Amino acid sequence: ALVYIDAFVPAQGESVLSLAAKYPGSQLPASITEAPYTQGSGQSGVDVYIKTADFRSAFAGDVSPAKADLMAITQRPVTLAALSEKSGAPAWKSIPSWYLVGRQDEAIPPATQMFMGKRAHSHTVEINASHASLVSHPAAVTKLILAAVHTVAK
């Protein structure tokens, strides 16, 4: 089984950036900062981070300020190339999936999440959570994972 938690679920040929622009509402475009880098091979790239000052409102609105601050300063970047990369054949075409939608997600708008979950024929659960529902609502996340396990383990 596949379990998506406030996640991008691309179809073949889609990128995260194309899905991110599908519906309005994400705070990420205004909240990110870019950090160019050069690899040892001489190739260059760009890492993307959420600005520390914007992290809680854009990513972890239902997480305590102290925990969101810690998450902000320890976040790992994503490369701009990874966000632009087009997806290959999606696993959700042949594997049953479950999707947790955070209704208060300011990173991936709930409308985008619902679209992707429906398209993937996911068993969808909605909760009042930010994008950081893994942190703010671990019981709901665990319940969804166990539902997937119990369904496919039969």
* pLDDT value of position 9: 98
What is the residue-level pLDDT of the chain in tens, covering all 154 positions? 999 999 999 999 999 999 999 999 999 999 999 999 998 899 999 999 999 999 999 999 999 999 999 999 999 999 999 999 999 999 999 999 999 999 999 999 999 999 999 999 999 999 999 999 999 999 999 999 999 999 998 7
Question: Model-level pTM greater than 0.85?
Answer: yes
What b/e string do you get for 117-129 counting C-beta neighbours within 10 Å, with b at 16 or more?
beebebbbeebeb
DSSP-assigned letters across all residues of 16-51: HHHHHTSSS--SHHHHEEEEEEE-TTS-EEEEEEE-
